[in-house]
Amino acid sequence: MAQRLPGLTDPDYAAFAWARFRRVMRWMVLASAAIVAVALVALDNWYGPLDWITIAAAIGGFGGTALLAAALMGLAFLSSGSGHDEDVERID
C-alpha cells in the first residue's frame, strides 16, 4: 500500500504546503506582469497610442487570465500533493 501523505490537517505540513503555494503565486505575479507588459507593447505597436480603458482591459484580460490559471492549477497541485484527492476515495 502506498505511503499516506500527512495532508493539510497536520499544521506543519499545511504551513509548508501553503508557503509553497504562495511562493509559486509570487512568481506567477511576476510572470503575469511580464505578459501584460509584452501585450501592451504589442498592442501599442499594432494599433498606435492606447486609451486608458484599453490598457485597463489588457491588464484585466491578460493578467487576470494568467493569474486565475496559475491559482487554479496551483490549488489542483496543492490538493493532489497533500493527499486530499486520495481522501475522497477512502472509505471509513
Residue 17 covered by a domain:
no
Instruction: Tell whether 50 is covered by a domain.
Output: yes
* Count: domains in the chain: 1
Q: Which helix (H) or strand (E) holds 76?
A: helix 64-82
How do the pLDDT tens digits run along the chain, 92 residues long? 455 556 667 788 878 888 888 999 999 999 999 999 999 999 999 999 999 999 999 999 999 999 999 999 988 888 777 766 666 666 65
37 lies in which domain range? 29-81
What is the spatial distance between Cα 86 and Cα 7, in angstroms, rounded to a whole number? 10
The C-alpha atoms of residue 64 and residue 69 are separated, in whole angstroms, by 8
- Inter-residue contact 58 to 36 (CB < 8 Å): yes
Considering the entire predicted model, what is its pTM?
0.71
Residue 74 belongs to a domain: yes
Please state, in angstroms and rounded to a whole number, the distance separating the CA atoms of residues 29 and 60. Answer: 13
In a domain, 12, yes or no: no
